[in-house]
Amino acid sequence: MKFSKSELLFTLFIALSSMLLSSCGAVHTLKDEQVSPQWPGKAYKNITVVGVYEDMPYRSSAETGFAEAIKALGINAQTSYASIKDLQAIDTPEEITKFFDAVEGDAVLAVATIDPGYDYDYGDALATRGMVVLLGGRPGPYTDLGNFIAWAGSGSYSLLVALWDTKTQALVWQAKTSSQTTGSESEDIKALAETVVTQLRGNGLL
């Protein structure tokens, strides 16, 4: 399957073995997984995590938890929020190139919410509409980009996770999740990391 940069960035910028991780933990089931033919066939050793969220305190917390959970699984990982503060400024090919030049490691793992599990109101839409530019899309009045973990509604939510090669700036892997929160954000993030790392290792990407 061929991935265009605009399609890739729209679905997720720039971040999951369909399996249950535990009976009491968060459930993240992968679906619509795609491995790009642009993947050079190597295993990535050092991951930079990007949480595609406008609220900086939330983004920093989510990235830190995700990176620490990945490191606990034996993969080098670091956050991006300190070095790349304004994701909304990444709205041109030149800015995208600068982004990849600025990150550490040989791959970027980005996460975005594509279904937060609750209905947005107009205020939510206005607060997040700028993120669509970052994702390569067109801003509109009802842009649905929610929080990393959705606490409202049924507790079900969906994430889009993608992996980029920082040298080639190519999308090499992406998947959506069907997720259910446990009510513990830290446990949900830990389970997400376990699901993603297990699948990427199984595919030879880590």
Q: Is residue 20 part of a domain?
A: no
Percent of the chain with pLDDT over 70: 68
pTM of the model: 0.72
C-alpha distance from residue 157 to each of 46, 81, 120, 153, 182 (Å):
28, 24, 13, 9, 12
- Phi first, then psi, for residue 162 (nearest 5°) are -140, 150
Q: Give the pLDDT band of residue 7 (cuts 50, 70, 90).
A: very low
Q: Is residue 132 part of a domain?
A: yes
Give me the pLDDT at residue 118, please.
56
Q: Is residue 28 part of a domain?
A: no
Q: Is residue 122 part of a domain?
A: yes
pLDDT at residue 84 above 60?
yes
C-alpha distance from residue 150 to each of 121, 163, 185 (Å):
15, 22, 9
Q: What is the mean pLDDT of residues 55-65?
A: 91
Q: Is residue 38 part of a domain?
A: no
Domain count, the chain: 1
Q: Is residue 21 part of a domain?
A: no
Two tokens, residue 48: 């930079």
Q: Quick: pLDDT tens for 119-166.
A: 444 455 445 444 444 444 444 443 344 433 333 345 777 888 999 999
- Domain of 156: which CATH number? 3.40.50
As a dihedral over the C-alpha atoms of residue 191, residue 28, residue 34, residue 5, rounded to 10 degrees, the angle is: -80
Q: Is residue 172 part of a domain?
A: yes
| Domain range enclosing 63 | 43-203
pLDDT at residue 48 above 80?
yes
Q: Is residue 109 part of a domain?
A: yes
Cβ neighbours of residue 40 under 8 Å, at least 6 residues apart? Answer: 165, 168, 172
More confident residue, 78 or 118: 78
Burial class (CB in 10 A: 0-12, 13-18, 19+), 155: middle
Which residue type does 123 have?
Answer: G
